[in-house]
Structure 1
Amino acid sequence: MLWLNLVRPCPAHRRCLLYVHNYHTGPSRGDKVAMSGGVDSSVTAKLLADPSNEYDLSAVFMRNWDARDESGSDDGCEWKKDWEDVQRVCRMLDIPVKMDTMLARPGTQVIVSLDRVPMLRKPLDSTKDQTYYLSSISENSLSRALFPLSQLTKAQVRNLAIEWKLPTATRDESMGLCFVGERKRFSEFISQYIVPKPGPIVDMTTGKKAGVHQGLWNYTIGQGAKMSGMPQRMFVAKKDPRANVIFVVPGADHPALYVEGIRVRNFHWIWADDEPPEVRPSGLKAHIKYRHCMTDVPCTVHRWVLCTSLFKFGSLTACRDTYGLHIIFHTPQKGIAPGQIATIYAEDWCLGCGVIDEVIRT
């Protein structure tokens, strides 16, 4: 569980004079707590099922895909095996199980003081860090969340599952989308649902057509284009959705693959009512992730003033300012494109996220 064990100065926000390391304002005794299946969730369930917690636990199993759409049978996803494992764990821990849609219900509202606020922190085991995916969570939702495994490594979780003889203790990790598979190309899967849209592949260095693609969705900025007949390996530098053109460059370190920074129009701060004050005068020194499987990199975050709407004031037309973020990397980064999620960190504290609108090149 999480304990109040260390008080330190707040690194990036004026709202709190102090924050407590691993401070948690989550569910109180008697509250309902929902969890799902898997080795990690099995250990979580065991920890929360301790009588001293007095939680009203319910296990929710969600079947998110019907494998019969691709194969005509239930084989492949092994959802039945997952469902059986969930039931075995819940029987062992005396937890009721629901195979149903999880509905939003009123929960305990936690009063948060100015010096003690819910915080989304990186876990001890960086290989199991899910803060990138959780960075859009609201302050209210975070205040009611539990992260019992945050101070355990994956090896420790596995050892606890074995020690407690949980049915899922020896299960392998699931690393891919079950309905796509780890070895099947995603383009093969997506082509079953999207009609091909052929267009030209253009060599950015010569301006000449170098090939034909079957859809922009089959290519990712910064990745190899896998083109035959070229003198050296080509990489995707840019995609033009309007013209349906993919631009490629030779070599993995071509300058066209790198960007100096990004702009985000609608950034979601987990503390939604107040952004870090450093953003405005001098820029907030922070770290950023623009992909899940990456080490965060240093950046400086500035407020970006936008004029997104005009309004009449007597005979004058005025602009109503709105704000976004202008983020500059301390070293150029590659493999970044509009539409990706940018998540900002102060030390190990996740501050929020936003969808990248523009990339900034030299």
Structure 2
Amino acid sequence: FNVTGVFMKNWDIKDETGFCKIEEDYEDAQWVCKKLEIPLVEVNFVKEYWHNIFWYVCECFYLTEQYENGYTPNPDIMCNKYIKFDYFFNFARTKLQADAIATGHYVRSSFGPYLEYFKPDTNVSLLQAIDQKKDQTFFLCQTPQQALRYSMFPLGGYLKEDVKRIAQEAGLDKVVSKKESTGICFVGKRNFQNFISEYILDKPGDFVNLDDGQVLGKHRGFHHWTVGQNIRVEGLPAPYYVYKKDVDTNNIIVVKGTHHPALYSDFIITKNPNWISSEPEFNSFTRILNCNFRFQHRDPLVPCTVHKNLTNQLIIHLSQQLRALTEGQFAVLYNGEECLGSAIISFRGPSYYSLKQEVKMDHQQNDEIRKQVA
């Protein structure tokens, strides 16, 4: 292949310490491209990121407005959809006249890692990576079909340790030793509460105990909290966790204990489904699809039944209760190793508390929840 490296600049504001990591990343990109003897092009998508990810998605506020309304969105998924696989993809194809793009995502394509099985009249499928611990299909669940058809994913067939070994053998020790990137897509790892407060005004309210209505403390605003999070108010005799955000009163309703039944449900409704390859085949009579579900990146897949109603909403019944299902997050659906697509969770069904049902879980679920609330 004739390869050109592209460095995307999508954020230009220093973090709370006054440090702008993008400058360091660009220096690393220059070093790698020089080492590989390939050209490097820099492209600026700051304006596009600001308007499409941070402020607007589909002509409405996505990140900030949804945080103000009590939703908890996933900007990383939308960043892939609108920046990497839209603006960057079109830049590469039109400005650079590239035949395809290649990214470092740990996913696989049914067209093969280098599009060797490409078929012009066939849709491509998005498949889970060989390295299940690093699989990133969750984050590409909204990626457009047209972009996926011309995208290479060379890392999807390797374990992470093998990728590091190959990079070391190529003399790229400098970047192999770097810590993995975390935090908001392109914004980076930073104090999220301080960061989001720069763009959303605090609107204080009370933490209210669901069980007895007692006020347990004050919060600075909905945007600082998400469902299932430990509120960590000093002086309380036990940990309390966010159950829901009451937009009418501006109160955050909390419950005592990690396994309070109010935090668990097994039913959601979603809107605006995005099917990656094509819409899967629902039962013609029942309009039901049997598949697997997750709403957080590293959660185990859970069997579910999906019913599609006449307004294109997906009504999803899970085979087991899940903790902290959250409106605004994505329900990502799988069939075997294929990521079918995703839809935004618009309604969380009744909790086990309201249904007066007992929460039952195995040791694996218990371990996963400990990781979530740690």
2:251 to 234, 245, 249: 245
Please point out which of 171, 176, 193 is paired with 2:178. 171
* Deviation (angstroms), 1:203: 0.7
Question: Within the alignment, does 1:150 sit opposite 2:156 as a pair?
Answer: yes
- Secondary structure of 1:100's match? strand
Call closer, same or farther: CA 1:279–1:95 in 2, change over 3 Å. farther
| 1:87 counterpart residue number | 30
**Residue type matched to 1:146 in 2?**
M
CA distance in 1, matches of 2:4, 2:221: 43
Of the three residues 141, 145, 170, the one matched with 2:147 is 141
SS of 1:276's equivalent in the other structure is: coil
* Bigger radius of gyration: 1
Q: 1:303 aligns with which of 290, 305, 308?
A: 308
Helix, strand or coil for the counterpart of 1:149? helix
1:353 maps to 2:346: no
Whole-angstrom distance in 1 between the partners of 2:186 and 2:16: 8
> Matches of residues 180-329 of structure 1 in structure 2 within 5 Å?
182=189, 185-272=191-278, 274-278=279-283, 281=286, 283-305=288-310, 322-329=311-318
Q: How far apart are the structure 1 equivalents of 2:99 and 2:168? A: 34
Alignment of 1:27-106 (within 5 A): 55-68=1-14, 70-71=16-17, 73=18, 75=19, 77-101=20-44, 102=88, 103-104=90-91, 105-106=93-94
> Any idea what SS the aligned residue of 2:283 has?
helix
Q: Distance in 2 between matches of 1:279 and 1:140?
A: 28
Q: CA deviation at 1:342?
A: 0.9
Cα deviation code 1:116-172 (max 9, x no counterpart): 531100101112111111011122221111111111011000000111112423323
Identity of aligned residues (%): 34
Q: CA deviation at 1:301?
A: 1.1
Query: What is the CA distance between 1:186 and its match in structure 2?
Result: 1.4
Aligned to 1:332: 321
Report the residue type matching 2:21 in the other structure. Answer: E
Bigger CA drift: 204-213 or 142-151?
A: 204-213
Query: Residues 69, 163 of structure 1: CA spacing in aligned structure 2 closer, same or farther, 3 A cutoff?
Result: closer
SS for the counterpart of 2:291 is strand
Q: 1:95 to 1:179 in 2, by over 3 A?
A: closer
Report the CA distance between 1:61 and its aligned residue: 0.9
Q: Determine the C-alpha separation between the residues in 1 that align with 2:285 and 2:340.
A: 16
Give distance in 1, aligned partners of 2:248 and 2:303. 33
Question: SS of the residue aligned with 1:225?
Answer: coil
CA-CA distance at 1:191 after TM superposition: 2.0
TM-score normalized by the length of structure 2: 0.70
TM-score, structure 1 normalization = 0.72
Go from structure 1 to structure 2 and tell me whether the alpha carbon gap of 1:121 and 1:179 turns closer, same or farther (over 3 Å shift).
Answer: closer
Which one-letter code corresponds to 1:300 in the other structure? T
Bigger Cα displacement from structure 2, 278-287 vs 226-235: 278-287
* Amino acid corresponding to residue 323 of structure 2 in structure 1: K
| Aligned residues: CA RMSD | 2.4
SS of the counterpart of 1:287?
Answer: strand
Structure whose residues are more often helix by fraction = 2
Q: Secondary structure at the match of 1:355?
A: strand
2:142 is aligned with 1:124: no
After superposition, the C-alpha distances for 1:284-343 in whole angstroms (9 at most, x for unaligned) are 2211111123222221111123xxxxxxxxxxxxxxxx2211001100111112101111
**CA 1:144/1:178 → structure 2, altered by over 3 Å: closer, same or farther?**
closer
CA distance in 2, matches of 1:265, 1:192: 30
Q: Quote the offset at 1:202 in angstroms.
A: 1.1
**5+ residue gaps in structure 1?**
1-54, 306-321
**Whole-Å Cα distance in 2 between the matches of residues 80 and 186 of structure 1?**
21
**2: CA distance, partners of 1:96 / 1:108:** 16
SS at match of 2:152: coil
Deviates more, 1:138-147 or 1:153-162: 138-147
1:325–1:141 distance in 2 versus 1, CA, 3 Å: same
Which secondary structure does the structure 1 equivalent of 2:241 belong to?
strand
The letter of the residue matching 2:181 is S
Looking at structure 1, the residues matched to 3 and 244 of structure 2 have their Cα atoms a distance apart, in angstroms, of 49
Cα shift at 1:233: 1.2
